[in-house]
């Protein structure tokens, strides 16, 4: 069972890096709510303007909405496959940040191999 939907190898590497070290945000411009289909400030935030950024690594998007008083709330649109999807009740929980770091670490140390994820309370098969 794979953790994420099939994506390009480059994107898989980017997902590991972003989960481990955070996104690489590049500011793209100013966005006003309603200027584009589905682009609106979080519920309860009125008269807000967003700074729109994209991750140069994994292509995720961030809208950082600001009110005139300086309150700020982030909204994210993650790249397909970035977030772990728990579809059925017995699907595995999302990997921890530590697990993602381990995936990064094995690319740094040449003599290491990826660790196998085992389900809680079940034997690895
Ligand atoms: Zn990213």
Please tell me the predicted confidence (pLDDT) of residue 3.
56
CB 97 within 8 A of CB 20: yes
CA 63/CA 31 separation, integer angstroms = 8
Cα-to-centroid distance, 125 and ligand 1 (Å) = 32
Cα-to-centroid distance, 62 and ligand 1 (Å) = 10
Residue 115: inside a domain:
no
Q: With CA atoms as reference, report the closest residue to 77 among 47, 46, 96, 53.
A: 53
Please tell me the predicted confidence (pLDDT) of residue 4.
52
Query: E strands of the chain, at which residues?
Result: 25-32, 49-55, 61-66, 72-77
Residue 80: inside a domain:
yes
Residue 4: inside a domain:
no
Which domain covers residue 101, as residue numbers? 9-108
**Tens digit of pLDDT at every position of the chain (125 positions):** 455 555 788 899 999 999 999 999 999 999 888 777 778 999 989 889 999 999 999 999 999 999 999 999 999 999 988 998 878 888 888 899 999 999 999 989 888 876 666 555 444 44
Cα-to-centroid distance, 46 and ligand 1 (Å) = 28
Residue 51: inside a domain:
yes
How many structural domains comprise the chain? 1
Residue 72: inside a domain:
yes
User: What's the longest Cα–Cα distance across the chain?
Assistant: 56
């Amino acid at each position: 069972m794979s953790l994420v939907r099939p994506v390009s190898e480059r994107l898989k590497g980017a997902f590991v890096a972003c989960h481990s070290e955070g996104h690489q945000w590049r500011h793209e411009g100013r966005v006003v709510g309603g200027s584009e289909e589905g682009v609106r400030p979080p519920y309860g935030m009125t008269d807000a303007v967003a700074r729109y950024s994209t991750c140069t690594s994994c292509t995720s998007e961030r809208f950082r909405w600001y009110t005139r008083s300086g309150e700020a709330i982030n909204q994210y649109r993650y790249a397909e496959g970035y977030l772990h999807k728990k579809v059925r009740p017995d699907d595995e929980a999302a990997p921890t940040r530590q697990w993602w770091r381990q995936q990064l670490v094995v690319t740094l140390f040449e003599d290491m191999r990826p660790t196998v994820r085992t389900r809680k309370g079940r034997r690895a098969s």
